Amino acid sequence: MNGDEWKKLLRQSCTSASELGEYIKLNGDEQKWFDSADNGLSLLVNPYYLELARTSEAIRKQCIPTSAELLQTAVESDDPLSEDENSPLPRMVHRYKNRVAVLVTDQCGMHCRHCFRRSFTGQGRLPLNREERKDICSYIEKHREVKEVLLTGGDLMTLDDGPLIEMLTAFRGIREDLLLRLATRMPSSLPQRITPYLVEEIAKLGPVWIITQFNHPDELTKESRRALDLLRKGGLPVMNQAVLLKGINDQEEILAELFQGLLVQGVKPYYLFQGDLAAGTSHFRTNLERGWEIMRNLRREISGLAMPVYAVDLPGGGGKIPLSESYLVERSESGFCFQNPEGRSFIYPDE
């Protein structure tokens, strides 16, 4: 395969209703979004992902906007996680003591309609420049408690190989044992981006974990499996963060198939996120009760290895917490009483 195919596909992305017309016919709800003057996160969908949208409703909903996005509910905001408050430097969020997140670029391989960074995504800022990078690197050097750098955006795999490797090499240069975590949706949104050359170059850079985002089994295509194979054979550990999305994947059978499918590809399901309170995403949010019910039922269907942690990033900068529903029923004299997923009670003696 041509190593530059992804660039061509990305360049051919649709950004308007008329360009979409070549692939799909918009329905009324979708058209309404395009007819509105102020419609938030712009349209960006590359031909690879769009081709999948032609036959999969779950894919279509992730990339084609509808009028529901025009609604901003009272609890939603542009900065739902108060990241601005936790940014000691312009493109860096230091919310947890031992790790920082760096917003390398605001470009993505597609614009996901559920994106919670939507006030940052696709705004056409320049990628992190040398000066900004130097400032961030010296901050991390000074803060020895930082053990991990999460490189995110946007999607830094939209950078060309040269600048991407240069970026990773610069962060690697801080400390050899610094864990680099590279967040990218490319394996699902534009898997052609994952080339043997890129994998080989990243693998040379010591401990780098790849975090990707698959939300539906329809995204596990021949192309994306090839990308995941390359990453696995190249020795790069891959984990998946899925978002729980109403009308897309909020069903046990769908998630079971997704997590099992990922596991078979060597990808560990890491988080299943409850939707953040980003403006215009209320139609995608399931309620917590349903989320817990799904997790309980999944526990019976798939192995522990296939189970992600159901989590939420608390509004107002509270950070990520596991939304674990306790299996503990009560503490009695003889010990702790737990209920298993089948609803039967058992005592674990407290001695």
- Is 193 a residue that touches ligand SF4 (CB under 6 A)? no
Which residues contact residue 123 at a Cβ distance below 8 angstroms, ignoring those fewer than 6 apart? Answer: 106
The dihedral formed by the CA atoms of 326, 328, 329 and 335, expressed in degrees to the nearest 10: -170
DSSP-assigned letter for residue 16: S
Which of positions 86-105 make contact with ligand PLP (CB under 6 A)?
Answer: 93, 95-96, 99, 101
Name the H helices within 190-251. 196-203, 222-233
Q: What x-and-dash track marks residues 150-179 binding ligand PLP by CB under 6 A?
A: x-----------------------------
How many residues in the shown chain lie near ligand PLP by CB under 6 A? Answer: 7
H or E element that contains 63: helix 57-63
| Annotation marks residue 160 as catalytic | no
Q: Which distant-in-sequence residues (6+ apart) come within 8 Å of 312 by Cβ?
A: 273, 274, 276, 320, 321, 323
For residue 108, state whether it binds ligand SF4 (rule: CB under 6 A).
Answer: yes
> Residue 48 is encoded by which pair of tokens?
């690879």
Nearer to ligand PLP, 99 or 268 (CB): 99
Query: In this complex, which beta carbon is closest to ligand PLP, that of residue 93 or of residue 190?
Result: 93
The smaller minimum CB distance to ligand PLP, of residues 14 and 272, is found at 272
Question: Which residue among the candidates 61, 117, 118, 285 is catalytic per the annotation?
Answer: 117
Q: Respond yes or no: is residue 95 known to be catalytic.
A: yes
Query: Does residue 185 interact with ligand SF4 by CB under 6 A?
Result: yes
Give the one residue of 61, 91, 111, 133 binding ligand SF4; rule: CB under 6 A: 111
Residue 295: strand, helix, or coil:
helix
Instruction: Give me the catalytic one of 106, 155, 218, 276.
Output: 276
- For the bound state, the minimum distance from the C-beta of residue 108 to ligand SF4, rounded and expressed in Å, comes to 3
Helix/strand/coil for 119: coil
For residue 208, the SS3 value is strand
Catalytic hit among 125, 175, 181, 320: 320
Query: Cα 183–227–115 angle (5° rounding)?
Result: 35
Kindly write out the interface string for residues 244-283 of this chain, putting x where it contacts ligand SF4 by CB under 6 A and - elsewhere.
----------------------------------------
Return the residue matching tokens 């560990």: 268
The amino acid at residue 76 is E
Residues 101-130 that bind ligand PLP (CB under 6 A): 101
Contact 104, 54 (CB under 8 A): no
For the record, the structure tokens of 314 come out as: 């608390």
Distance CA(243)–CA(185), nearest Å, equals: 12
CB of 16 to ligand SF4, least distance (A): 18
Q: Which residues are catalytic?
A: 95-96, 99, 108, 112, 115, 117, 276, 313, 320
Q: Which residues bind ligand PLP (CB under 6 A)?
A: 93, 95-96, 99, 101, 150, 320
Q: Which residues bind ligand SF4 (CB under 6 A)?
A: 108, 111-112, 115, 117, 121, 153-155, 185
